[in-house]
Amino acid sequence: MALQIINAGPDPEELCGQIRDAIAAAIEGAEIHVEGAGPGHFAIKVVSEVFAGKSRVKQQQLVYAAITPLMAGNNAPVHAVDRLECVTP
């Protein structure tokens, strides 16, 4: 069995920026914090008025819908969101 070296993927800071941009485009005016938590893993906190009156599941669905393109396909740069916090200001 040969050792296979897998590409580490995009720069984590660049990817954090892509995640922030995708969420900002979907949830206008949101305050967004994204941290790399390991290769392909991220912690996200989004603060927005749009979450008011919505269940936690609905809040998280809004965020996941925004980043779905970054999680799709065999070579998706985002493998997991380890922590997702949705907050109403």
**Model pTM?**
0.86
Is pLDDT at 87 greater than 80 in this prediction? yes
Per-residue pLDDT tens digits for 70-84: 999 988 999 999 999
- What average pLDDT does this structure show over 3-25? 81
- Would you give the DSSP letter of residue 27? S
39 falls within a domain: yes
> Does any domain span residue 6?
no
d(C-alpha 11, C-alpha 1), whole Å: 29
Q: Which amino acid, one-letter code, is at 68?
A: T
Q: Are strands 41-47 and 80-87 parallel, antiparallel or unpaired?
A: parallel
Residue range(s) defining the domain that contains residue 23: 12-87
Residues 25-45 have a mean pLDDT of 95
Could you give the angle at the alpha carbon of 71 between the alpha carbons of 84 and 9, nearest 5°? 105
Q: Using alpha carbons only, how large is the chain's radius of gyration in Å?
A: 14
> What CATH number is associated with residue 53?
3.30.300.90
Are 10 and 16 within 8 A, CB to CB?
no
